Amino acid sequence: SRSINLAVIPGDGIGPEVVAQGLKVLSAALPQDVKLETKEFDFGAKRYHATGETLTEDDIKALEQYDAILLGAIGDPSVPSGVLERGFLLKLRFRFDHYVNLRPSKLGPGVSTPLAGEPDIDFIVVREGTEGPYTGNGGSVRTGTPHEVATEVSVNTAYGVERVVRDAFARAQARPRKKLTLVHKNNVLSYAGHLWTNIFNKVAEEFPDVTTDYLHVDAATIFFVTQPERFDVVVTDNLFGDIITDLAAAVAGGIGLAASGNINPSRAFPSMFEPVHGSAPDIAGQGKADPTATVLSTALLLRHLGYETEAARIEEAVSADLAERGESTRSTDQIGDALAVRVAG
């Protein structure tokens, strides 16, 4: 019989609350014959304070054994900024070669958006996940003086760009509209911009049925707001992708609804699925957090593992629930319960 071995990282703040609901809905979606085995890991602020560790080599070896990872949120004001980001989240993305950071944006029925009218928002951003300015390649001289000079080098390799661009083309080809937009800034970032553009144009030849487009990142932010229907699949680098996916989440109903997958398409390493939002310590433990982003992340997880029908069922359940939400203020648990019922029914 089939089974899914899932590493679960509830993390900090609202992480444990939303992950509990994600697991509830995920289990409800699975057919009887699929055995879901979960193992919890205690990464995050508590562990850091207790041991000074964020993610050890042994941890990485342990996590490597799983089919996938479900992450709530990591981060707490008691930990200096950057420690958990670099020591945990980015470390996992790099070590597990999560080169596709998949972030769908779809405006659900009845969901309020800051955009005017009834915008048509249904696109996915394929954000590169292992390179760009995230590699920690930089430095500072004359640090702390008025003459300090800091550099933060954006690393872009042909290998890294081609594989993510290829993945984005394949995703575009599998969607009805078959359109892929490259977002970069090649009018200013000459070296990286030209690498991306050249590779994009070269790979495009292998996907003649995919319509291509290019936008500078600044212009893309305008169109996310004024013409979101322009977008089907977007491919971009790590930092541009970070920024535009927050905007994409904002226009599609807020980060309470935004799901993401840190994916290694080759499956050489487990992929990790997480809501785009953070640990929101201000509302932790109060049952106020919306678990929808985590639930939608479990749909991405199932799709990645080949459970397309079950993934689609979770997404449909969320759509149906969103359509009826209105002004209702349900607790984290209540939303999870309602989604689990819909998915099972």
- When the beta carbons of 247 and 283 are compared against ligand IPM, the nearer one is 247
23 token code pair: 């697991």
Q: Does 76 bind Mn ion (CB under 5 A)?
A: no
Interaction mask 44-83, ligand IPM, x per CB under 6 A: ----------------------------------------
Q: Does 128 bind ligand IPM (CB under 6 A)?
A: no
E strand segments, 248-327 = 259-263, 271-275
- When the beta carbons of 89 and 220 are compared against ligand IPM, the nearer one is 89
What's the rounded Cα separation, in Å, for the pair 117 and 128? Answer: 32
What's the rounded Cα separation, in Å, for the pair 278 and 76? Answer: 9
What's the rounded Cα separation, in Å, for the pair 159 and 299? Answer: 29
What single string gives the DSSP state of each residue in 53-117?
Answer: -S--HHHHHHHTTSSEEEEEE---TTS-TTHHIIIIIIHHHHHTT--EEEEEEE--TT---SSSS
Q: Helices 308-325 and 332-344, interaxial angle, to 10°? A: 130
Q: Does 242 bind Mn ion (CB under 5 A)?
A: yes
Q: Of 12, 76, 97, 242, which lies in the binding site for ligand IPM, with binding defined by CB under 6 A?
A: 242
Told to judge if 246 belongs to the known catalytic residues of this protein, a careful annotator would answer: yes
Q: How far is the CB of 236 from Mn ion (least distance, A)?
A: 13
- What radius of gyration do the chain's Cα atoms show? 20
Q: How far is the CB of 246 from ligand IPM (least distance, A)?
A: 7
242 among the known binding-site residues?
A: yes
- Which does residue 165 bind out of Mn ion, ligand IPM, none, counting CB within 5 to 8 angstroms by kind? none
Q: How many CB atoms lie within 10 A of CB 287?
A: 14
What's the rounded Cα separation, in Å, for the pair 279 and 310? Answer: 27
Q: Of 85, 152, 162, 333, which lies in the binding site for ligand IPM, with binding defined by CB under 6 A?
A: 85
- Window 34-63: residues binding Mn ion (CB under 5 A): none
102 token code pair: 């998949």
Is 107:252 a contact under the CB 8 Å cutoff?
yes
- When the beta carbons of 89 and 182 are compared against ligand IPM, the nearer one is 89
- When the beta carbons of 89 and 165 are compared against ligand IPM, the nearer one is 89
Q: Is 181 helix (H, G, I), strand (E, B) or coil?
A: strand
Interaction mask 253-292, ligand IPM, x per CB under 6 A: -----------------------x----------------
Told to judge if 218 belongs to the known catalytic residues of this protein, a careful annotator would answer: yes
- When the beta carbons of 85 and 152 are compared against ligand IPM, the nearer one is 85
103 among the known binding-site residues?
A: yes
Told to judge if 134 belongs to the known catalytic residues of this protein, a careful annotator would answer: yes
166 among the known binding-site residues?
A: no
- When the beta carbons of 30 and 295 are compared against ligand IPM, the nearer one is 295
What's the rounded Cα separation, in Å, for the pair 195 and 113? Answer: 35
Q: Helices 217-226 and 238-251, interaxial angle, to 10°? A: 10
Annotated binding site for substrate: 93, 103, 127, 218
Annotated binding site for NAD(+): 278-290
**Residues that are catalytic:** 134, 185, 218, 242, 246
| Residues at the interface with Mn ion (CB under 5 A) | 242
| Residues at the interface with ligand IPM (CB under 6 A) | 85, 89-90, 242, 276
